[in-house]
Chain A
């Protein structure tokens, strides 16, 4: 069985600041980590491999300095490492990101399942999974807790909706997004940590996966961020200050006037 896990490199939380002049997000340090929710997708893939056989390919779209994260994925149980990296991908929104991932996944065909995290901790849209399924023309199943192979070629996923869970049967290939905290990601294996030292990820460019240049990066992204801002409020607000007894009296009379108490 061929399993592909998509891992997003994200900045370590707390290292990003808004540039007050340009309104863009500034990375104070380039410390990247594997998007934490994706660890549950990787663990699910590794458990499936252990149960049913096959291999796990970790696929990451990101800058060259994301290589150590893929090596970490190896230590966590991935077998093959692929870095999709190209300046042409800079500024991709979810549509352009899912397009590039879908093109890379096609290159890695044949595959049975693509596993992703539910959402990233930076963009946090939860859109890349279903969009990738659409590009590939295969079903997408979101917020999956468990995945087992049933009879014949059918698989059964248990997924989460708001006030119910559904058991849904499907035939691969499919894109699965994995609900966080539904398994227990293993610690890195020492043996694999040693082995990965002599291993380099395969690096693929936009051209190598046959990306249409008009569909990648900033120019291929239909959403456009006009402004990033910290909300400020200016309103017709009333400021009450003074001795506590005084302000309580004023507050109570305003609330009574407005019929709020």
Chain B
């Protein structure tokens, strides 16, 4: 039967944002494997409407497994159901978001079926033999690894925030395939309570423009000019880890593996070398500008526009020039 499966994690507020990111990955790759983009959802009747909505995002098939016992996530039970579904339907790929739930569930399924699983992927390719090349960072060593899986389905978890979200389309309708389970395996886990933990809202992750600074800005005083630039561009300020630790800005502004993931239309990095630990958090940016005295710096290689020069001088000049433009526009009349 096959299929390019993605796990439809849901919660209080509908599907987890990472599901839409997985859909965009699947829509790009599934045709190369001649497979259908399929979302697999485990839950109750309450999910039928939301599951139907998925077709608007270019999903070709939705499998909705329904049973009252599936009203909340339970590792053992969910894994058993997915394992049985895999055995029955033989998908060629199965991707999960590397969320807390995805990271608990995917390896459990892999263990039940003896499957390979690649963790926290940030890029994929399909090779000539129709193998899914799974690319993941190794932060400790500042390198990337290309991994393939010898077992089927090829399974991977995907780092949230890296891929663009699929957008709803004008057309796109369909009916989920509902699988009403008459019985489910007994779970050993019983939820007693949940305690909401307010997600620390970071304006960063949603920002359309991010202006970020690193050690190359040399002083806190220089760094703080970024706030002015951010304001002019209606953007947010980001930072590398060392400058957060230097106390130039609070850690909520850190971009990278230990901080936020951003995917703005425009990212400008001043005096940032471009260590993998940082770039993994801004890989999804549309246009990257780097300002660095060293034209060989990694971020300069990665940039769409590489500005060779002293960031401490370029930043104030850029602010002045953009202010002129904005004021000229606003004040012209």
Bound Cα distance A70, B106 (Å): 30
User: With A229-B146, A230-B142 as given contacts, are A164 and B194 in contact (CB-CB < 8 Å)?
Assistant: yes
Bound Cα distance A145, B133 (Å): 35
Query: With a CB–CB cut-off of 8 A, which chain A residues contact B116?
Result: 93, 95, 221-224
| B261 shortest CB reach to chain A, Å | 13
Please tell me the number of chain B residues within 8 Å of chain A, measured between CB atoms. Answer: 79
Q: Which of A38-46, A75-83, A231-239 contacts B (4 or more CB under 8 A)?
A: A231-239
Bound Cα distance A159, B76 (Å): 15
| A28 shortest CB reach to chain B, Å | 11
Bound Cα distance A122, B100 (Å): 19
Q: Is A50 an interface residue (CB 8 A)?
A: no
Bound Cα distance A171, B142 (Å): 41
Bound Cα distance A248, B303 (Å): 16
| A102 shortest CB reach to chain B, Å | 9
Bound Cα distance A103, B115 (Å): 17
Query: With a CB–CB cut-off of 8 A, which chain A residues contact B279?
Result: 231
Which of B109, B198, B314, B322 is in CB contact (< 8 Å) with A261? B322
| B25 shortest CB reach to chain A, Å | 19
Cβ B314 vs Cβ A244 within 8 A: yes
Bound Cα distance A156, B193 (Å): 11
Q: Is A21 an interface residue (CB 8 A)?
A: no
Query: With a CB–CB cut-off of 8 A, which chain B residues contact A143?
Result: 100, 104
Q: Which of A15-34 contact B (CB under 8 A)?
A: 16-18, 25
Cβ A166 vs Cβ B140 within 8 A: no
Give me 8 A-to-B residue pairs in the complex whose CB atoms sit less than 8 angstroms apart, sorted by A's number: A94-B107, A126-B103, A130-B75, A140-B76, A140-B108, A163-B11, A229-B144, A241-B307
Given contacts A164-B195, A168-B192, A228-B143, 16 further A-B contacts (CB under 8 A): A25-B141, A125-B120, A127-B106, A127-B117, A133-B108, A134-B111, A142-B75, A142-B100, A169-B191, A171-B188, A229-B144, A233-B298, A239-B308, A241-B307, A248-B314, A252-B325
Q: B residues touching A (Cβ–Cβ < 8 Å)?
A: 11, 75-76, 79, 99-101, 103-112, 114-120, 133, 138-151, 187-199, 209, 233, 265-266, 276, 279, 287, 289, 295, 298, 301-310, 313-314, 317-318, 321-322, 325
Q: A residues touching B (Cβ–Cβ < 8 Å)?
A: 13, 16-18, 25, 93-95, 98, 121-135, 138-143, 156, 160-171, 174, 215, 221-242, 244-245, 247-249, 251-252, 254-256, 258, 260-261
